Amino acid sequence: MNIKQETIPLNEENLHRLPPDVARPTYQRSDLKTGIIHVGVGGFHRSHEAYYTDLLMGDGDSQADSKAWGICGIGLREPDRRIASVLEKQDYLYTLIIRHPDGKIENRVIGSLIDFMMGIDDPGAVIDRMASPDTKIVSLTITEGGYNLDAATGEFDINHPDAQHDLINPEQPKLVFGYLTAALQKRRQQGLPPFTIQSCDNIQHNGDLTRRVVLEFARHQDEELAKWIETNVAFPNAMVDRITPVTTNDDIEYLENEFGLADEWPVTCEPFCQWVIEDQFVNGRPEWEKVGAQFVPDVTPYEKMKLRLLNAGHSVLGLLGSVYGHETIDGCVSDELFATYLRRFMDVEATPVLDAVEGIDLAAYKDTLIERFGNPNIKDQLARICLESSSKLPVFLVPTIRENLAKDGSIRFAALVIAAWCYYSDRQVDQHGKELDIVDDKKAELHEAAAGTSKDPLSFLKITSVFGDLAQSQRFTEVYAEMVNALYRNPDVSVLMREALRADG
Ligand code: CS2
């Protein structure tokens, strides 16, 4: 007879009932104050910033200081309602399932998140919370697309309807930038010190970009406020890294079957974890360096290395692999052709335009990347990797191509990725005709341009908001046009991958 054990719903009261192999907070959560407000509580925030903060709270030497750094999550959009309700039900607790390549699994209930608020329900309450003297940091994971940039200029798009709405309704903002300026305005009026605004998104100079965007928005609102922000608020740049696939039902069932633990939304991630931050905080910060974060004077070389090798590497596998018919990153890496192609792309195109990173052996970094990508217990779906490619490739891949064009470097490996992206956007199926799950704000625009390829092979490349002036480069367009034409004749992208490898010697 199959007797199912009684399941234990995850919440504060049940923590002591969890089996010993599930780690749990060793600190008093009721003693925590909210020092950090975080906008964008997805899997990544929960596997990264909330994880580091939880480690710190559990660290014997830091317990007293870390009490000030509880995290309150904020959801600004309707789809955030689901995470809001799950977290509320579970007293904001969730399980982090850390899956090692050898099959070992660490399970850890994270306690650093202590509250959650939905902006759309009560924008004033969120603004007040940000303006509270306890709040010292507002951190963001709003994705590359969340910065509301004008594609043509790369600057904040003040004409966006939501930005215009926020200028007219400063008390009821829609964009995070409206919330930030409203809260900072309150702090300024009340003579309170500002908070630090800390971006945790995969963007080069994420802090500098956030500063530009916030200032641009504030200037349209109130010139004096903008000046105050410019002088008083800090926006540290940071490089963030931990591969965090989308949670699946298997993750939920695993906890239930192994431990009788009912957690409606756990997070799975790899063991590797990195956070390199510029130490510019205006109102204090947690001592994250005690639990593995690195504080450095200049994060530029680290972030460039990560974006151009890891993130670009993901996109290389993601787009080529999607057209080929692979489904996950580890599936790609276990295919020797894809693994070789990735390594050649990294060695021949990405690395020559990277700066040296002091204390980092790039060859070893690349070896580790391939190992991480190959982790068979992290089923990172290519659909997640290719999500919003139109915001990612301009950051991850196009700069590498541009810099190689300027110095006569190799461009063929990257060119084939763009040809594959064109085919993917046009046909929206893999080479066998299986439908692809494509999510992109620019999906329609990408599709339309890609569909013009049979008439004009450069049609896709002419989306200047994504590719800039790549279509003007004769060297690039010659290579690209030949590839895209060949791919449309025979969508088996592996043929062209082999050809690129051969041509490279
Ligand atoms: C991925 C990242 O979204 C992407 O394209 O490359 O989510 C990546 O997994 C993380 O940046 C890893 O730190």
Residue range 237-270, pLDDT digits in tens: 999 999 999 999 999 999 999 999 999 999 999 9
* pLDDT one-digit tens code per residue, 409-454: 999 999 999 999 999 999 999 999 999 999 999 999 999 999 999 9
Bridge partners (DSSP) of residue 435 are 429
Atom of ligand 1 nearest to the CA of 202: 11
| Dist. CA 98 → ligand 1 center (Å) | 16
| Ligand 1 neighbours (beta carbon < 6 A) | 202, 241-243, 311, 314, 385, 392
Question: Measured between alpha carbons, how far is residue 220 from residues 127, 148, 168, 176, 209 in Å?
Answer: 19, 15, 10, 15, 17
Query: Average pLDDT, stretch 373-396?
Result: 96
Looking at ligand 1, which atom is closest to the CA of residue 392?
5
Query: Measured in angstroms, how far is the CA atom of residue 242 from the centroid of ligand 1?
Result: 8
Q: Is a pLDDT exceeding 60 seen at residue 17?
A: yes
Q: How far is the CA of 387 from the centre of ligand 1 (A)?
A: 10
Q: What is the pLDDT of residue 4?
A: 56
Give the total residue count for the chain: 505
Find the 379 Cα to ligand 1 centroid distance in Å: 13
Q: State yes or no: pLDDT of 101 exceeds 50.
A: yes
Q: Which one of 314, 393, 417, 421 would you pick to mutate in the ligand 1 pocket, going by the greatest count of ligand atoms within 8 A of its CB? A: 314
Indicate which atom in ligand 1 lies nearest the CA of residue 380: 9
**Domains, the chain, ranges and CATH?**
8-296 (3.40.50.720), 300-504 (1.10.1040.10)
Distance 286 CA to ligand 1 centre (A): 25
pLDDT at residue 236 greater than cutoff 60: yes
- The answer to whether 336 touches 387, Cβ cutoff 8 Å, is no
Mean pLDDT of 326-339: 98
Q: What is residue 5's predicted lDDT score, i.e. its pLDDT?
A: 63
Query: What average pLDDT does range 96-121 have in this prediction?
Result: 98
Q: List the alpha helices (DSSP H) in 234-356.
A: 249-259, 300-305, 312-324, 329-333, 336-344
Question: What spacing in Å lies between the alpha carbon of 385 and ligand 1's midpoint?
Answer: 7
Closest-CA residue, ligand 1 atom 6, reads: 311
pLDDT at 60: 80
> pLDDT band for position 357 (50/70/90)?
confident
pTM for the full model?
Answer: 0.96
Q: What is the pLDDT of residues 121-177, one digit of tens each?
A: 999 999 999 999 999 999 999 998 899 987 677 889 999 999 999 999 999 999 999
In this structure, the residue with its CA closest to atom 4 of ligand 1 is 385
Lookup result for tokens 């399970």: 107
Task: Give rounded-to-5 percent helix, strand, coil for the chain.
Answer: 55, 15, 35
Task: Report the nearest atom of ligand 1 relative to the CA of 384.
Answer: 3
Q: Which atom of ligand 1 is nearest to the CA of 313?
A: 6
User: Across the chain, what does the average pLDDT equal?
Assistant: 96
pLDDT, tens digit (0-9, with 9 covering 90-100), for 58-88: 988 877 889 999 999 999 999 999 999 999 9
Is the confidence at residue 375, as pLDDT, over 50?
Answer: yes
Q: Which atom belonging to ligand 1 lies closest to the Cα atom of 242?
A: 13
Distance 302 CA to ligand 1 centre (A): 15
pLDDT confidence of residue 2: 45
Q: What per-residue confidence (pLDDT) applies to 1?
A: 42
177-184 average pLDDT score: 98
243 Cα to the center of ligand 1, angstroms: 6
